[in-house]
Amino acid sequence: MSQRLERGGSCPVRSRLLHQSVDRVTAKDELRQIAYWGDALSEDEAARTLKALVRRTYSAGSYICHRGDRLDAWTGVTQGLVQLGAISAEGKAITIAGVRSGGWFGEGTVLKAEPRKYDMLALRDTTLALVPRPIFMWLLDTSAGFGRFLVHQLNERIGQFIAMVEYDRLHNPAARVARHIAWLFNPVLYPNAGDRIEMTQEEVGLLAGVSRQIANKSLLRLEELGLIKVDRGSIQVLDVEALGQFDG
């Protein structure tokens, strides 16, 4: 970002020093504020990605995309909380995953150029960053850094879904609640997550696939064990490793 400085005739040296102190915001710096994987790109790659990137906002409770719809863009949550789920022919609702601020998802769908196989619901006011498929594929073809990032992302996602099947079938609701919260602090998928997330008991229940009452009991138990601290409208994780391994 350039800044024009008016130079007075009486103090040219001071004017030059002021001009030198103005930092230029590069495309890579700007992209890094939106997506942590911007570190993996060159300056030219970041600039081209920024030019194509689109932002959209959704109010709490609104559907972003229904199962079977096409959303030909890699999707990042820059603000808010998104539930990925589906409803069976019998009307049973299931949660596939929750994605918090800083998370990116949908790379498999974009790679295969297919309709979404899940519903996307904004659990709270949410802003998305969308990288169109042509740019996503261009980055994959040309950027070694982006390719390495994507391999780690997909590997972590596979591990998450395998664990989800295990916990949904073998463990009690408290363990499911613990695992779903721990996923939102995964250091690979959310490297800048910190130790706190804004989330209500109702949202915990929706993500873990349990009622609000069961979510409340599970949170109280996890708090008694010293794994989390529950505040009004937020959860602080005190031991993310133990939380992810909690089996009830």
What residues does each domain of the chain span? 25-143, 171-248
Q: At what angle do helices 201-208 and 212-224 cross, to 10 degrees?
A: 100
Residue 239 in 3-state DSSP?
A: coil
pTM of the model: 0.78
Determine the pLDDT at residue 169.
56
d(CA 204, CA 198): 10
Give the Å distances, CA to CA, from 180 to 14, 86, 212, 247.
56, 17, 15, 12
Question: Per-residue pLDDT tens for 65-99?
Answer: 999 999 999 999 999 999 999 887 777 778 888 99
d(CA 54, CA 51): 9
CATH of domain 171-248: 1.10.10.10
DSSP assignments along 64-116, one per residue: EE-TT----EEEEEEESEEEEEEE-TT--EEEEEEEETT-EE-HHHHHHT---
Pick the CATH number of 25-143 from 3.90.1210.10, 3.10.129.10, 3.90.1010.10, 2.60.120.10: 2.60.120.10
Determine the pLDDT at residue 176.
87
Determine the pLDDT at residue 171.
66
Supply angle C-alpha 74, 63, 200, rounded to 5. Answer: 100
Determine the pLDDT at residue 2.
38
Question: Per-residue pLDDT tens for 144-163?
Answer: 999 999 999 999 988 877 77
Amino acid at 55: R
Determine the pLDDT at residue 168.
62
User: What's the length of the chain?
Assistant: 248
CA atoms within a 13 Å half-sphere pointing along the CA-CB vector of 85 = 18
Supply angle C-alpha 82, 85, 88, rounded to 5. Answer: 160
Which parts of the chain have pLDDT scores under 70?
A: 1-25, 165-171
